């Protein structure tokens, strides 16, 4: 799964990279993004068809959910079952998005009571484009719309396999247009995009166990450490 990540590229940098056309959303650099927080997401504006970057809440809440608690169970969506799950299948057809990230974190179990966190990024240091889905949910009491998202995961590549059995789908730039819906694609063609990113284009390094606490959100979380500094589970 992907339960924590970092977004450190500036709004201007992401606007240039992804070609979004709306007014810039303001957000601070985040080194420990956690579920339920609002973060930049790239999607097509349903009215104009242009790329837009907006702040959405992490944890997808389907439109038919009774309350927001559904989002806690849908921070990730397995690529293998997207077309079957009621929570995701409508969004797969109509509401696909890209979730920018500069790094993500994963924990490797090192003993029955210890796990070691790792940071993972692209080898060239450029932001990653996670494949995602988004939804709109209306608050029954107020009628206000809440927009949420999920990050799609797939099987691990050779780099990630020793760490965890899942990894986020990272879309290469050539797939962005198809995934966002700027050109027609069949469901099988969309699902074919959801493959592990090449291991030789990524790197990982051990980081301090402080990343396990949501309240810690500073640049030092991405600093490499010597192996052996884990955190009890």
Q: Of the listed 12, 106, 161, 187, which one is catalytic?
A: 106
For the stretch 1-19, pLDDT in tens is: 689 999 999 999 999 999 9
Its domain, for residue 42, covers: 5-104+127-200
Is 120 domain-assigned? no
Using alpha carbons only, give the angle 176, 181, 186 rounded to the nearest 5 degrees. Answer: 105
Average pLDDT in the 41-68 region?
A: 92
Q: Name the pLDDT band for 141 (thresholds 50, 70, 90).
A: confident
Is 47 domain-assigned? yes
Is 9 domain-assigned? yes
CATH number, position 146: 3.90.1680.10
Q: Is 139 a catalytic residue?
A: no
At 74 the three-state DSSP class reads: coil
Please give the Cα distance from 22 to 45 (Å, whole number). Answer: 9
For the stretch 172-187, pLDDT in tens is: 999 999 999 999 999 9
Per-position DSSP letters for 100-160, written without gaps between them: EESEEEEEEEEETTEEEEEEEEETT-PPEEEEEEEEEEE-TTT--EEEEEEEEEE---TTT
Q: Is 2 a catalytic residue?
A: yes
- Specify the pLDDT at position 228: 57
Is 183 domain-assigned? yes
Is 210 domain-assigned? no
Q: Of the listed 2, 84, 161, 182, which one is catalytic?
A: 2
Number of domains in the chain: 1
Please give the Cα distance from 50 to 48 (Å, whole number). Answer: 5
Is 207 domain-assigned? no
Residue 220 is classified by DSSP as G
Is the pLDDT at 77 greater than 90? The verdict is: yes
CB 137 within 8 A of CB 146: yes
Is 145 domain-assigned? yes
Reading the block at residue 149, the tokens are 């998202």
116 beta partners? 108
Is 122 domain-assigned? no
CB 150 within 8 A of CB 60: yes
User: What average pLDDT does the chain have?
Assistant: 93
Q: For residue 130, which of 187, 70, 172, 174 has the smallest C-alpha distance?
A: 172
Average pLDDT in the 134-160 region?
A: 94
Q: Name the pLDDT band for 35 (thresholds 50, 70, 90).
A: very high
Is the pLDDT at 158 greater than 90? The verdict is: yes
**Global confidence as pTM:** 0.95
């Amino acid at each position: 799964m992907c339960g924590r990540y970092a977004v450190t590229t500036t709004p201007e940098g992401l606007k240039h990279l992804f070609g979004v056309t709306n007014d810039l959303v303001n957000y601070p650099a985040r080194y420990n993004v956690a579920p339920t927080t609002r973060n930049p997401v790239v999607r097509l504006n349903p009215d104009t068809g242009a790329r837009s970057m907006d702040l959405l809440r992490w944890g997808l809440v389907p439109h038919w959910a009774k309350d927001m608690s559904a989002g806690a169970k849908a921070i990730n969506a397995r690529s293998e079952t997207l077309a079957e799950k009621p929570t995701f299948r409508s969004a797969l057809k109509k509401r696909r998005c890209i979730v920018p990230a500069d790094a993500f974190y994963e924990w490797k179990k090192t003993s029955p009571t210890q796990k070691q966190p790792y940071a993972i990024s692209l080898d060239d240091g450029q932001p990653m484009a996670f494949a995602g889905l988004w939804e709109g949910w209306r608050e029954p009491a107020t009628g206000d719309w809440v927009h949420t998202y999920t990050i799609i995961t797939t099987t691990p590549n050779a780099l990630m396999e020793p760490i965890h059995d899942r990894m986020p789908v990272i879309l290469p730039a050539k797939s962005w247009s198809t995934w966002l819906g700027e050109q027609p694609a069949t469901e099988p063609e969309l699902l074919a995009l959801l493959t592990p990113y090449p291991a030789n284009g990524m790197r990982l390094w051990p980081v301090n166990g402080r990343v396990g606490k949501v309240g810690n959100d500073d640049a030092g979380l991405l600093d490499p450490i010597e192996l052996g500094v884990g955190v009890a589970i």
